[in-house]
């Protein structure tokens, strides 16, 4: 478990000495896990307080469900949802590290300039809005570069890889180089579990997750309650907490430095227990 990384957060270089837990707050009516949904500023404020009480290091706010088959949302509606939620987040925790889950450069800019968001989490890796990279570079915020093919509507038809791990790493490496050439120094990489991947490909990526260390960038794993868990276990997203914790623990063993989760307490406990194992087995 690689523990230490740094990020420029709101103009300050922050050193993280242990894996971080990013709690999910969805300002959407149709996210696949009902427990993550918030409606309005008050609801977002309450969820933020709950996530922080459980030990969240970061809050990830989304206004556009990217699950397969989700309804399309225009930019104005996406930002309206995000603004309501971010107002609640900032009321609850003015200094919190906040990420916004959006692929639209214009929405990203408003969230940074109006609400002090420090991280942009782009599920498209810059493929859906050609202005995203230059926008992030200009704003000087951290950026989550996630692998996806196509759009959420058609991504599950685009799962043909020669070698899924090698292909995803190559794709991320090319885009990481492009971002760095533009001056984006703080890039977090995400293999994109569940996005243009079959069930078997998701597990292959997890099993080979340590190969992503070659990218020399903080590694985010986002598997919380996803179909790779509940389809395998033949249960529902609501019944997938135990499976999520198991896979998050594997991800930590293989070098994940940020866990993006619905259930913060369980993830924080996994991080703490893994740290104990590491400390107990370190050579003098």
Tokens of 261: 């989760």
Predicted local distance difference test score (pLDDT) of residue 1: 47
Distance, in Å, from the CA atom of 275 to the CA atom of 284, rounded to the nearest integer, reads 16
Choosing from 81, 104, 197, 260, the catalytic residue is: 260
To the query of whether residue 260 is one of the catalytic residues in this protein, the response is: yes
Q: Domains of the chain: which residue ranges?
A: 5-277
Least confident of 54-58, 62-66, 137-141, 195-199: 62-66
Is residue 17 packed enough to be buried (19+ CB in 10 Å), middle (13-18) or exposed (0-12)?
exposed
What's the whole-model pTM score?
0.94
Q: Which residues contact 231 (CB under 8 A, 6 or more apart)?
A: 199
Tokens of 130: 């050609």
Q: Are strands 142-146 and 187-190 parallel, antiparallel or unpaired?
A: parallel
Determine the average pLDDT of the residues in 191-204. Answer: 97
Determine the average pLDDT of the residues in 82-96. Answer: 97
* Mean confidence (pLDDT) of the chain: 93
Handedness of CA 230, 234, 237, 241 (dihedral sign): negative
Choosing from 37, 81, 197, 226, the catalytic residue is: 226
Q: 3-state DSSP call for residue 75?
A: helix
Determine the average pLDDT of the residues in 51-79. Answer: 88
CATH class label, 5-277: alpha beta
To the query of whether residue 226 is one of the catalytic residues in this protein, the response is: yes
pLDDT in tens, 150-179: 888 889 899 999 999 999 999 999 999 999
Q: Confidence class of residue 2 from pLDDT cuts 50, 70 and 90? A: very low
Q: Are 261 and 21 in contact (CB under 8 A)?
A: yes
Report the half-sphere exposure of 233 (CA within 13 A, side-chain side): 18
Distance, in Å, from the CA atom of 70 to the CA atom of 62, rounded to the nearest integer, reads 13
Which residue in 26, 98, 13, 86 sits closest to 56, CA to CA? 98
Distance, in Å, from the CA atom of 42 to the CA atom of 19, rounded to the nearest integer, reads 29
């Amino acid at each position: 478990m690689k523990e230490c990384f740094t990020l420029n957060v709101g103009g300050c270089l922050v050193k993280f000495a242990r894996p971080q837990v990013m709690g999910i707050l969805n300002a959407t009516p149709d996210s696949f896990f009902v427990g993550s949904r918030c409606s309005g500023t008050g609801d977002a404020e309450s969820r933020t307080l709950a996530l922080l009480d459980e030990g969240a290091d970061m809050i990830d706010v989304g206004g556009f469900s990217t699950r397969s088959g989700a309804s399309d949302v225009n930019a104005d509606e996406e930002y309206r949802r995000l603004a309501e939620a971010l107002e609640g987040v900032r009321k609850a925790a003015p200094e919190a590290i906040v990420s916004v889950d959006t692929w639209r450069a214009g929405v990203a800019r408003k969230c940074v300039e109006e609400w002090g968001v420090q991280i942009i989490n782009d599920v498209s890796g810059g493929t859906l809005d050609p202005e995203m990279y230059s926008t992030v570079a200009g704003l000087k915020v951290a950026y989550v570069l996630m692998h996806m093919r196509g759009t959420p509507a058609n991504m599950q038809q685009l799962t043909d890889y020669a070698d899924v791990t090698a292909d995803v790493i190559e794709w991320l490496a090319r885009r990481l180089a492009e971002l760095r050439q533009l001056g984006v120094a703080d890039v977090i990489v995400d293999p994109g579990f569940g996005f243009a991947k079959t069930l078997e490909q998701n597990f292959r990526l997890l099993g080979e997750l340590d190969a992503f260390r070659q990218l020399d960038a903080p590694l985010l794993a986002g598997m919380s309650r996803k179909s790779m868990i509940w389809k395998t276990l033949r249960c529902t997203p609501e019944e997938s907490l135990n499976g999520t914790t198991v896979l998050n623990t594997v991800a930590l063993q293989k070098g994940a430095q940020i866990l993006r989760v619905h259930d913060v307490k369980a993830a924080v406990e996994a991080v703490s227990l893994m740290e104990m194992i590491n400390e107990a087995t370190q050579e003098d």
